[in-house]
A and B are shown apart, each in its own frame.
Chain A
Amino acid sequence: MSIKATSTDGFPTSTSRSQAETESVLLEHLPDPASSAATPVLQKNAHMQFLIRNLVQGFPTRYISQDASQPWLLFWTLQAFSVLQVALDPGNKQRCLEKIMAWQHPDGGFGGGPGQAAHLLPTYAAICALAIVGRPGPGGGWDEVDRKKMYAFFLSLKQKDGSFLVAHHSEVDVRGIYCLLTVATMLDILTPELVDGTAAFIASCQTYEGGFASASHPPFPVSGSVLPPPAPRPPLGEAHGGYTFCALASWVLLRPYMEQTAEPKPEIDLKNLMRWLVHMQGTEIELGGFKGRTNKLVDGCYAWWCGGAFALLEALGLGGIQNADSDEVPVDSGVAAGVWDDVDESLFNRNALQEYILYAGQHPAGGLRDKPPKNADAYHTLYCLSGLSSAQHHIYPSRVRKSQVLEAWEPSGWSLLYVPNENARKVAFAELLSWTEEEGGSHIVGGKANRLNATHPLTNLTITHTEALTAHYYAQKVPERIRTAPKADPAA
């Protein structure tokens, strides 16, 4: 098959010029199909060395720009290890724990560094890092998170349009809402009061293109009273991969609480969203990588923000194992094999995405990147790996697993906050734990040696870490999986 350059229609502009430059660079990274390099290798060892260097030696001076993102630097590094199937030794885990707990703010939440103001983004990163290196009991971190104060911090950021500031005197955007909802779900501090109006805010961020914007403008003046509906709530900014992931994940996390919202129920246009996501995948000449906006360039991190979003669509009934997942059929009934079409129901090209990461995303000196000839960095290392992992494995919300978790629910389960709706709490728990790896559903380009750990589509932690942390805060047991568990997770 010949590889076609993106059409310029004889009318070049600055967009088409940088597109053409990128295409020629990417083409150089596509090996001759006849050569031995045609089997791409994930340079796990080189990436591990890159991560170890950051962890042990530290980050060079240019990382001062990320001084207010210290929890992110640690989360990106730790989670990249987990995806690479590597666990830290107890000594290093303890050093990480100490560092993380120094970010907790005395008034709740976590800051970007010791003594920095609490902020939703580092709060997510710190809790996720704790999921990886922490444990229950004294000195283990999990019981030292002040959840009451965190809840108060979350509530203090709430706006009357259902959105949240990312920090006091700071901006509203859907990244912050995703971080808040993920943490609140895992820590069992999600309440109807906290998320009242939030789904409607998320819905208002969807643009005509189908993807989501950073935020929307509230339907009332900056100062003064609320306008009578229906006032416009226009999205601010165009559809964007990062915001789309955050909005979609928020939407999925809000579902257990949506039944309670007042009419009219907020809606999103799922088909338009699916179409937009599908169109973010670059063509063959872009090696099948994803871009973050229409007419922008492909970038490795969107392998996760856009590629990873397809698993979330499945939770809303689009793509994947449709209508009746094979799980619904008892494994030993002998029916499973023949009844369901052996169609790959993926909506995007998983193999091509893997090739983008393997051919273009890897820096020869270790670590992963946006695109050649850029340098590797901690952020792109994680999101390229997570994206690659999500393209390798098929993780789906299993109804069987969900009902199994619901059945195992201990009504004595102790909750930190008042529980006006025990059922929503229970469903939120069961839905987070319902995500399951489809057995035999992995397609690993380059062979088994390139296999990565699966990540949870909502948290971007491993499924094991997500379940252990969440069950701890809900005081529930994680029921054993009925069918053989996903391949052993050495990071657990």
Chain B
Amino acid sequence: MPSKAAADTPLFAEREEWADVQPLEQYEGVNPIAPIFYSPEYKDATGYFRAIVQAGEKSARVLELTENIIRQNPAHYSAWCYRYETLLALLPPPAEDADAGAQPDIPPLLAAELALMDELAVTFLKTYQVWHHRRLLVPLARQPRRELAFIQRGLAVDAKNYHTWSYRQWLLAACYGRGAAADPAMPDAVLDEAAGVWAGELDFVDAALAQDVRNNSAWHHRFFVVYGARGQADSEAERARIFRRELIYTKQNIAIAPSNPSAWNYLRGVLRETNTPFAAVQDFARLYAYPHSADETRDVVDLDNPAPGADAELPCVQAMEFLADAWETEAGAEMWKSLANEHDTIRRQYWEHRIRDAHQTIKPAVE
């Protein structure tokens, strides 16, 4: 399969092996409005593509044609879709006597497709279609480990790429989630590695956050791994252990860089998920919600309440908001006022809304 850029290859119109196809021009009308100025190469390839689709041909040369189009326009979803259908038509059917739980052999055609996708996904990182096509190939190849390694390379290029992260999450849920165990087509070898894979994901997040503690995609991934994909642990003791681990992890990361909304949102998420009142963490938040004080003591290391460093810019608005939300009382209203008038003025109307809202709920309780 050629992997050269379209510009280096002759037009399909000039190729002997395509002489039997009459290209179909795109309907443009007599006097087209808002046309796109196509390059000759694009016009050529898409003309042959329309003809192939009309004829319903699903042969090896269709793979070459669709690859050519995709390299020129990776968002051409019709070309991707037709390519997938052609692949399915050309791949040998799975062996009849194969053990349902066995790892399938990879036919050469599929291996070539996977290699091509490794190249294209990095070149066209921001295109929906490249990621979806990979997803379609996973049930055919059933090698999720290979995919996890590939994704790691993708994230090295773009650490916050939405498609890359959501693909990783899909892969984990589909191959190692609760549903995968009930999937008769899932190879035993894949199921056996699940526990190790989930544990590895926490290290993966750790490494991403060590690179950039403000990477919200990595924080979201942590939530997905700890709570989202598999739900809460069955045993009370295990739930408590995980909760404590997540609290310490988050607090330590907040201590490194306090004004980090990703970390505070994660903290809120963990508390909400475990039905823990925010007030349970107020001693920690208090350390961050006020200006540095003269009598700060940093020599006492409190694991539960790690203190801000000397470089921390205090007060941290996220800590102030956290405390106000934890209290929702007169003291909370004071905090909201301070946010509205001084520390987070762009959101003044929201803070005022919170004050009004809290008053409405506080009042009846007082009367």
Contacts and interface: CB of A to CB of B under 8 A. Distances in A.
B148 interface: no
Interface stretch (B58-66, B103-111, B196-204, B311-319): B311-319
A268 B288 CA distance: 31
A260 interface: no
Residue among A58, A67, A274 having the largest count of chain B Cβ atoms under 10 Å: A67
Contacts of A117: 77-78, 81
Nearest to B317: A7
Interface in B151-196: 159-160, 162, 165-166, 169-170, 173-174, 177-180, 182-186
Nearest to B164: A237
Contacts of A215: 166
Contacts, number: 275
B109 to A, nearest CB: 18
Contacts of B262: 294-295
Residue among B26, B28, B173, B184 having the largest count of chain A Cβ atoms under 10 Å: B173
B350 A348 contact: yes
A476 interface: no
A294 B259 contact: no
A349 interface: yes
Contacts of A9: 256-260, 308-309, 311-313
Contact of B349 (A69, A167, A347): A347
Interface residues of A, number: 96
Nearest to B159: A14
A265 B264 CA distance: 30
B258 A64 contact: no
Contacts of A63: 36-37
A69 B268 CA distance: 39
Interface string B64-105: 000000001111111011001100000000000000000000
A295 B261 contact: yes
Contacts of B165: 237-238
B34 A55 contact: yes
A234 B169 contact: yes
Contacts of B136: 169
Nearest to A293: B216
A321 B224 CA distance: 37
B228 A221 contact: no
Residue among A55, A170, A208 having the largest count of chain B Cβ atoms under 10 Å: A208
B38 A283 contact: no
Contacts of A208: 223, 227, 265-266, 268-270, 272-273
16 contacts: A8-B257, A13-B213, A54-B34, A61-B37, A67-B42, A69-B75, A99-B34, A119-B77, A168-B81, A209-B220, A214-B166, A221-B182, A224-B185, A238-B165, A283-B344, A347-B350
Interface of A: 1, 6-11, 13-16, 54-56, 58-61, 63-70, 73-74, 77, 92, 95-96, 98-99, 102, 111-117, 119, 167-171, 207-209, 213-215, 217-225, 227, 230-232, 234-240, 272, 274-275, 278-279, 281-284, 288, 293-296, 319, 344-349, 352
